[in-house]
Amino acid sequence: MAALTAVLLTSGTATAAGTNSAEEVRTGKGSGTAGATAEYNGRVIDLSKGWQGASICVEQTFDNFLCYDDEASYRAAEHLDSSLPSTGTRAYTDCPSGYFCLWDNANYNNGSFPRVQYRTLGTHNLASIGFTNRANSVYNNRSGWTVAADDTCSSETLWVETRISELSNWQRQYCSGSWNNKIDRVTLRS
Ligand SMILES: [Ca+2]
Ligand SMILES: [Ca+2]
């Protein structure tokens, strides 16, 4: 019994250590003071210090983004369907397959509000892109779940399956209010 316990503990410790080191690498930028880097109109900007006029930022590699002025320039650059109106509400269909998208506005409405699109697995600190407490609607257009967390409410997380979510509709069980304008971190799971 004692031997078995020791084996299990060793195994558990090894697994935890591996997870921690991977996590540190993956969240290195987001957890420090430096913000996430984005390329926007030929410049490199630090999203934690503001989006400098960009309205859509799309993750390329882990916490590195390409940002665009608007929906039209984004869709042209990424060769996405541009047959729909390029301004105003396009709603959740703006979020392409394979991405977890967060809107700083209700009803999946971009307008003059920013939208961010994540694609890499792991935990992303929204502070590194200046997006804490801002998401009002999300679309997990991925097969894996995405888990959202609020630093002021450690007792619960919001698990988003492949679906759209208007965050004001998600009342919290252990903390006050809904998830509207509360998310600080998101974890994209495989
Ligand atoms: Ca907001
Ligand atoms: Ca929060």
Concatenate the DSSP letters of all residues of 40-102 into one string.
ETTEEEEGGG--TT--EEEE-STTEEEEESSHHHHHHHTT----S-SSS--GGGGS-TTEEEE
Per residue in 65-85, pLDDT (tens digit) is 999 999 889 988 988 876 655
Residues with CB under 5 A from ligand 2 (ion): 133, 150, 182, 184
pTM for this entry = 0.80
Domain 36-188 superfamily per CATH: Crystallins (2.60.20.10)
Q: How far is the CA of 23 from the centre of ligand 2 (A)?
A: 21
d(CA 158, CA 63): 21
Q: Over the stretch 24-53, which tens digit does the pLDDT of each residue have?
A: 334 444 444 579 999 999 999 999 999 999
